[in-house]
Amino acid sequence: MLEQNINDAFLNARKQMRKACDLYDGCRLDTNKYELISHPRRIIEVNIPVRMDNGSIRTFIGFRSQHNDARGPFKWGIRFHQDVNKSEVKALSMWMSIKCAVIDIPLWGWKWWVIVNPKELSDGELERLSRGYVRELYKYIGPETDVPAPDVNTNPKVMGWMMDEYSMLVWKYSPGSFTWKPLSSGWSAWRWEATAQGWVYVLQKILELKDIELKGKKVAIQWAGNAGLTMAKLLVDLWVHIVWISDSRWGIYNENGINIEKISELKAARKSVIEYDDAEKLAEKWVLEVKCDILIPAALENQITWDNVLNIQAKIILELANGPITPEADEILHKNFTIVIPDILANAGGVMVSYFEQVQNNMNFYWEEEEIDQKLHKKISWAAEKVFHTSLEYSSTLRSAAYIVAMTRIFDAMRDRGEI
C-alpha cells in the first residue's frame, strides 16, 4: 500500500498509475508490469563547480531522472530552481513518459533539475553553470539518447549554450541534441505559440465530444505566468470570458471579463494583478474556489486537495500545471461529475512540437508554421479523442484513460523488446 502524503509528487503519480492499472486488464492481471514502470530506471546526482564573477568557486547540485526508454530517446525539460526534491523529479519524469506515449511519439520521460535561484546569478555565471552541467552529463545525452528542452527558469539562450557545449564535447555540430534553441541554432518555427495552441486543441476536442459549447464560457486562471497569460489570450480570441486571474499573492475578478493585454503589461513591468483598476480584489488562494465554468490551474502541484475540493465550483478543469490535483481530490471531482482534462494530455502539445523540432534538426529540413500547426492539430486532437473513448470504455476519469492508453503502448514496446 502506498504511503499517504499529499505533498509527495512521486507517490501521487504512482497512485494515479496504480488506479489505472487496477482498471486495465493488461496491468491488473500482471502486477509485474506496474512494478516495471512505476519507478524511474535511473537517477543521477551531480556536483557542478562554477567559477563566480568574484573569483570564488561555488558548487551546485543537479539531479537527473530517466523513467524508461522502451519507446525511444528520453525527453523533457531542464529546470533551474532553488526548491527541489527527488520525489518531484521522479514524478515529472514519469508524467512525461505518459505524455509521450498518450500522443504516440517515440520519446520517453526524464527530468533535469539544478538547485539554484538563477535570479542571483549574472549572465556569465549562468552560462558557466549551464555549460558545466552539460560537461557532467554529456555522455548520457544526445539526439538519439536524451534530448533536453527548457523548463522553469531556462530558455532558448540556455539551450543554445548547452547545445554549443555538447557539440564541442562530441566534436560535431549537434542541433538535435537540445530543443527550444534560438532560431538561428535550429529552433522550430512557431514553437512558443504551438505549446499553448495544443492546450486549446485538447480543450476544444474534449468539449466537442461532450457536446459542450466553448464560446461564452467564463474562465478562471490560477497564475498569470507565461502559460496562463498565453492561454488567456487564445481563449479571448475564441469569445471566452476571462473573469478571474491571479498571481502569487492576489486574484482579481470582473464578471464582464478582464483585459488580458493590460494584465500582460502589468506582469511585464513586474507588477501585481492587484494594480488592475476595473476588478474586485481577493487573496490568490480563493481563485480556485470561485464560481466559473472552466478553471485552469497553471501554477504548482497539489493545489486542489482534500481540504478544498468540496469548494470547487467549476464543472470543467483544464490542468496546465503538472499535478495540481491530488489523487484523493481527483476522485471526489469525478464523483461530482466535474470534467478534469489532465495534465498528461493537456500539456502534451509542448513535447509534441519539441519532437517536431528534433525531427527537423535531424533531417536538416524545416517546416513552415502552417504545416507544424496542421500536424499538431491532427495528432493532439486524435490523442484527445482516443482518451475520451477509452474513458467511456472503462467508465473512468480522463486521467485514468490517458494512463491506460499510454500503458498499452508502453507495454507493447517493452514486450516487443523482450523486457516483459
> Would you call 213 helix, strand, or coil by DSSP?
coil
Residues 321 and 297: beta-carbon distance below 8 Å: yes
> Would you call 76 helix, strand, or coil by DSSP?
strand
Reference 182, options 199, 200, 196, 163; nearest CA is 163
How far is the C-alpha of 305 from the C-alpha of 299, rounded, in Å?
14
Of 19, 90, 99, 111, which residue is the catalytic one?
Answer: 111
Count the helices and strands in the chain (H runs, E runs).
Answer: 14, 12
Note if 111 is an active site residue.
yes
Strand bridging mode 42-51 / 280-283: unpaired
Which three three-digit cell numbers place residue 207?
468539449
- Residue 87: exposure state from Cβ atoms within 10 A (0-12, 13-18, ≥19): middle
For residue 176, what are the CA distances in angstroms to 20, 155, 351?
Answer: 34, 16, 14
Residues 6+ positions from 201 with CB-CB distance below 8 Å: 349, 376, 377, 380, 381, 384
> Would you call 299 helix, strand, or coil by DSSP?
coil
> Would you call 136 helix, strand, or coil by DSSP?
helix
How far is the C-alpha of 380 from the C-alpha of 345, rounded, in Å?
8
How far is the C-alpha of 289 from the C-alpha of 158, rounded, in Å?
37
Reference 385, options 206, 247, 200, 118; nearest CA is 206
Tell the residue number behind the cell numbers 495534465, with chain if given: 343
Q: Which residues pair with 283 in a beta bridge?
A: 250
Which three three-digit cell numbers place residue 114?
539544478
Catalytic positions, written as ranges = 111
